[in-house]
Amino acid sequence: MHFGADYYPEYWPRERWAVDARLMQEAGMDIVRIGEFAWRVFEPEEGIYRFDLFDDAIQLLGEHGIRVMLCTPTAAMPAWVEQKYPDVNVVDAAGRRRSWGARKNWCYNNPQMQELSRRITRAMAEHYAHHPNIIAWQTDNEFSYSGCMCDHCAAAFRRWLAAHYDSPEALNAAWGLRFWSMEIHSFGEMIPPRERAHSPSHMLDYRRFQSDQVLAFNREQVQIIKSCDPRARVTHNYMTTYTGIDYRRMAHDLDFVANDMYPRDITALERAAFGHDVIRGYNGGAGFWMNELQCGYINRENQLRTPPPGMIRLWTHQAIAHGADAILYFRWRSCTGGCEQFHSGIVQHDGSPVSRSYREIKGIGQEIERLRALGLTGSAIENEVAILRSFDMARAMEVYYGGRLFDYDAELQRYHRALLHHNIGMDVVHPEDDLSRYRVVLAPLLMLVTPAQVARLRTYVEQGGTLITSYRLGAYDWNAIVPTETLPGDALADLFGVRIHEYDSLMTEAPADPTPVVAWNGQTYATQVWADMLEPTGAEVLARYTNEWYAPYAAITQHQVGKGVAIYVGAALEDRFYEAFLPPLLGAAGVMPALETPPGVQVKVRRVHGEPLWFVLNCTTASQPITLPQPMHDVLLDRPVGRTFVLPPRDVVALRSA
């Protein structure tokens, strides 16, 4: 298991490097990530490469037992790039070209930028091939959807469309372009979606196209690195739940997935847990790396509070509990200049180890060593519940009215939070992943769905699975076109045993009066966001709407299909509904909580050599009583723990059988 930080030797005097390396070594660190913003250092002028600064830094770090993840530096281009090639910069929807002076301000489709990327990547890969102290590579830094609409993007988009559609006529039909006389006669007529009211199909495919271009840019860097050193292990640092890029497809080109996460404050730990589960899904299971984890305050575009004592430790072990096999904090030392100058480091601007963050992380280093000795690296996480999430569904909902109607991840987190509160382990996977190992599959906001995905879900239910979905089921096809069949479409209607002729959007500018009310199990619950009026065609009614014109309709149904059941929750509801509704369904499917704990205490389990290691995290600001099935041993502090004990605020234990 690796433990370290993101380090910028190019920013600090050479005489300081040995001090930094010694402090890292004393904190138990064995790795640093370097180079992602050093293009000007590596290539001060076009075609002139300089490696001496990083050669010396890597050598010195190695002498202190610290190995290196080396990054390609294309995230931030030098001034000479724009001066020689001014059209590399992104052009926005209004035709304005961005300028040099920030990062990620260039176009992935620009041929000159693509060539510059090849050159610097190959120069670095050839120079550092088989270097004994470089154990991993990272491509670029935090790839993102640029939104560029330059001439290069327009030309590449037309080529992309020609590769994905048989003819302009096929594209017209797929997108419904007869509306507003938008039909085209040749792919050459198509442009990027610059207007606010462009077709949702057009905007969705443009985002798919831009994602594909980023994937190709990344893939080429990976291929160049591996052509020079076939044993090189290459990753990229994702941005948790970011939806601008199809991270699942990008993972196919990587040896493992890495992530950047800034939980920011104690109120965000549930959201952080969801993010870790999403990343683990992209990685195909446990073993992802945290390439950037918050280690202090963040005063950049907004002003945030300094994490209280114990918070960095809690963030760290939450990531490990959810499957991280490496922790690198951002950053080693606070930077004195630039827009991140008040973004905290492990040591602050003065470089002193007196900082609380350094002292806390030094203690964490001792705990990491115990986890290493236990054999945690590569250990599995085995769950019986899955939540379905996909890039295409996320983007389809974001392009519709600019994302003002549905918050896809917020809907998924309604279910995730309830399971987290009951200590039910879950994976976040794609609708086309293998679902057979799960007893329960949650598919909230399954709005965009393909016939193949529907067939897979039906097979899952027929073979004994429990499938739970929510409102807007089947409202889009692959191209963001509304089907002409009665919702949710014939195949889904047959699976869930309902039809929908009426629905109500509750996310309107006008007051939602009346608001539908749902009655279930003797309790009433207010609806939010949306309400589908369900008409059973074979499903059993579990709950109904109780007021106004909604009253004749079902709100929640259950349909027996083969050996399993398909459950439709027709509205978004208060959190307390999910807390009450899901546990009985999980219990009926044979899914039990990892451990019963007080509210705000999270429990995650990793299996080390087949034996469970229980991470118990107190995510509250008060001490919490914990009761275990038997006395255990806390690996982190190497101490026995009785059957009952009190877990202090923001504290964590990692327990195994005594």
Catalytic site positions: 142, 292
Sheet containing 632-634: give its strands across. Answer: 601-608, 611-618, 652-657, 632-634, 639-641
Please, is 130 exposed, middle or buried when counting C-beta atoms within 10 Å of its C-beta (0-12, 13-18, 19+)? exposed
**Which of 170, 21, 144 minimizes the C-alpha distance to 74?**
144
Pairing mode of beta strands 31-34, 67-71: parallel
Q: Which amino acid is at 415?
A: Y
CA geometry: angle at 535 spanning 530 and 540, to 5°? 105
Is residue 442 within 8 A of residue 413, CB to CB? The reply is: no
Q: Which amino acid is at 40?
A: R
Strand partners, 601: 618
Q: Scan for tokens 């939540």, then name that residue.
A: 387
Strand partners, 554: 534, 544
CA geometry: angle at 214 spanning 210 and 215, to 5°? 115
Please tell me the distance from the alpha carbon of residue 550 to that of residue 251, in angstroms, as a whole number.
45
CA geometry: angle at 5 spanning 330 and 278, to 5°? 60
Report in angstroms the alpha-carbon separations of 582 from 175, 275, 525: 38, 21, 15
Q: What backbone phi and psi angles, to 5 degrees, belong to 591?
A: -100, 125
Go through 548-577 and write b for each residue having 16 or more CB atoms within 10 A of its CB, e for each that does not. Answer: eebeebbbbbbbebeebbbbbbbbbbeeeb
- All residues at 6 or more sequence positions from 167 whose CB lies less than 8 Å from its CB, including other chains: none
The pair of three-digit structure tokens given for residue 11, joined into one six-digit string: 């920013």
Is residue 582 within 8 A of residue 422, CB to CB? The reply is: yes
What is the number of alpha carbons within 13 Å of residue 342 lying toward its C-beta? Answer: 9
The pair of three-digit structure tokens given for residue 210, joined into one six-digit string: 């831009």
CA dihedral 135, 136, 141, 146 (to 10 degrees): 170
- All residues at 6 or more sequence positions from 621 whose CB lies less than 8 Å from its CB, including other chains: 266, 649, 650
Report in angstroms the alpha-carbon separations of 120 from 50, 126, 140, 225, 229: 11, 10, 11, 11, 16
